């Protein structure tokens, strides 16, 4: 028996082979869904980026010595993430008690979603935002995570048995003036001893399988989040986390989603009435819910970054690399894609969706002039 064969029975080895198979399956899936060479090529890179994020968040999560993991990087915005936001993930376990200390900063919106495994999707067992974090006058907060009410000072989060996770969302209106929230986590009991416990086969396998599940899920969003919109581009639907699931959407948010299909010499003019919200933004994504070059391209805009029309309405113009309007958005060279509007606050509002119309490049100036 070779040494390689001798280790095949390890759960961690089996888990890694499952991940290897999942990569091939999802590659076949995105290639089947792509409609252009550019989409297919970008989708291949998207798979790699989601895999990297999934490994960092799930396989490298360490509940005995936990740390927050930043889900995005300057070059990575996948899984439908808001480009005007920062996301941090934390993997914990109900067998241990934790304390999180932090400061809320001055970002437009800060929230924490607490989820545990529930079949293929995750279920939410707690949710906090600025109003429920227990902020003091300086914006500081302390959370104590425990299965029973703790003696330590702080806001108690009752935790379930087994693994669970926290996703922190920071929505930013203007990065030049807003300061990010800061936070750190510590184990409350036997921290030094727990940190020294080595990782064994079963635990490593569970982390790999967690990464595999996240990878499958996040690379399949185009088939899960209103896939019918690709048959009716430029028509917005309105939804919230009740329909989308709190594992992929913020519980304070109202969402408006549409797809687009723009020829090289076309533009999409979107008109909307702003809602009474503490924050909103629009993001341009690929078919596979990835925002490209989000730090260098106008692929998103927030309420702090748009110029309203004289009547208070908002007009946005999506083009292939043509800066034709103060509220210009760029497709990053993709004919097909997804538009997502997020409104923080009015999650149950009954409103009209934005209107969208395709305009030929030669007619665009006249259309924009007529709207002034």
Q: What is the largest CA-CA distance in the chain?
A: 79
CA distances from 370 to 13, 24, 235, 332, 366 (A): 64, 51, 23, 27, 6
The highest-level CATH class for domain 222-370 is mainly beta
- Higher pLDDT: 6 or 267? It is 267
What local confidence, expressed as pLDDT, does residue 370 receive?
Answer: 78
What local confidence, expressed as pLDDT, does residue 246 receive?
Answer: 76
Q: Is there a shared CATH topology between the 65-196 domain and the 222-370 domain?
A: yes
Residue 159 has pLDDT above 70, yes or no: yes
* pLDDT band, very low/low/confident/very high, at 122 (cuts 50, 70, 90): confident
Q: Tokens at residue 201, please?
A: 């086969």
Q: What is the pLDDT of residues 23-42, one digit of tens each?
A: 999 999 999 999 999 999 99
* pLDDT band, very low/low/confident/very high, at 315 (cuts 50, 70, 90): very high
Mean pLDDT of the chain: 94
Q: What is the pLDDT of residues 165-213, one digit of tens each?
A: 999 999 999 999 999 999 999 999 999 999 999 999 999 999 999 999 9
What local confidence, expressed as pLDDT, does residue 3 receive?
Answer: 65
- Domain locations in the chain as residue ranges: 1-59+198-219, 65-196, 222-370
Residue 266 has pLDDT above 70, yes or no: yes
Rounded-to-integer distance, Cα 260 and Cα 338, Å: 6
* pLDDT band, very low/low/confident/very high, at 372 (cuts 50, 70, 90): low
What local confidence, expressed as pLDDT, does residue 269 receive?
Answer: 97
List the CATH code of the domain at 65-196: 2.60.120.1600
* pLDDT band, very low/low/confident/very high, at 249 (cuts 50, 70, 90): confident
Angle at 72 between CA 292 and CA 93, to 5 degrees: 150
What local confidence, expressed as pLDDT, does residue 309 receive?
Answer: 94
Mean pLDDT across the stretch 94-107?
98
Mean pLDDT across the stretch 264-273?
96
* pLDDT band, very low/low/confident/very high, at 118 (cuts 50, 70, 90): low
Mean pLDDT across the stretch 154-158?
98
What local confidence, expressed as pLDDT, does residue 369 receive?
Answer: 84
CA distances from 243 to 222, 283, 347 (A): 15, 20, 12
What local confidence, expressed as pLDDT, does residue 2 receive?
Answer: 60
């Amino acid at each position: 028996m070779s040494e390689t064969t001798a280790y095949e029975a390890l759960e961690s080895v089996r888990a890694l082979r499952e991940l290897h198979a999942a990569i091939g399956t999802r590659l076949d899936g995105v290639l089947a869904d792509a409609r252009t060479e550019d989409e297919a090529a970008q989708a291949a890179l998207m798979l790699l980026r989601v895999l990297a994020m999934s490994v960092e968040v799930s396989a490298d999560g360490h509940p005995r010595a936990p740390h927050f993991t930043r889900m995005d990087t300057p070059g990575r915005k996948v899984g439908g993430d808001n480009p005007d936001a920062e996301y941090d993930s934390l993997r914990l376990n109900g067998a241990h008690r934790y304390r999180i200390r932090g400061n809320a900063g001055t970002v437009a919106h800060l929230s924490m979603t607490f989820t545990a495994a529930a079949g293929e999707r995750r279920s939410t067992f707690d949710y906090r935002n600025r109003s429920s974090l227990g902020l003091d006058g300086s914006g500081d907060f302390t959370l104590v995570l425990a299965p029973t009410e703790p003696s330590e000072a702080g806001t108690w989060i009752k935790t379930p048995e087994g693994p669970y996770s926290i996703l922190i969302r920071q929505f930013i209106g203007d990065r030049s003036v807003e300061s990010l929230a800061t936070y750190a986590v510590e184990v409350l009991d036997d921290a030094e001893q727990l940190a020294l416990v080595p990782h064994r086969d079963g635990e490593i396998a569970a982390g790999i399988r967690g990464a595999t599940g996240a990878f499958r899920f996040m690379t399949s969003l185009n088939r899960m989040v209103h896939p019918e919109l690709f048959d009716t581009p430029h028509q917005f639907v309105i939804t919230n986390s009740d329909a989308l699931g709190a594992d992929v959407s913020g519980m304070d948010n109202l969402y408006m989603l549409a797809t687009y299909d723009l020829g090289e010499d076309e533009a999409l003019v979107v008109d909307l009435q702003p809602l009474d919200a503490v924050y909103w933004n629009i993001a341009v994504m690929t078919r596979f819910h990835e925002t490209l070059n989000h730090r260098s391209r106008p692929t998103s805009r927030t309420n702090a970054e748009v110029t309203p029309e004289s009547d208070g309405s908002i007009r946005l113009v999506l083009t292939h690399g043509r800066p034709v309007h103060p509220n210009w958005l760029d497709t990053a060279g993709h004919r097909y894609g997804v538009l997502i509007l997020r409104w923080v606050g009015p999650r149950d509002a009954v409103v009209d969706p934005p209107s969208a119309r395709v305009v030929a490049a030669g007619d665009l100036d006249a259309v924009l002039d007529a709207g002034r």
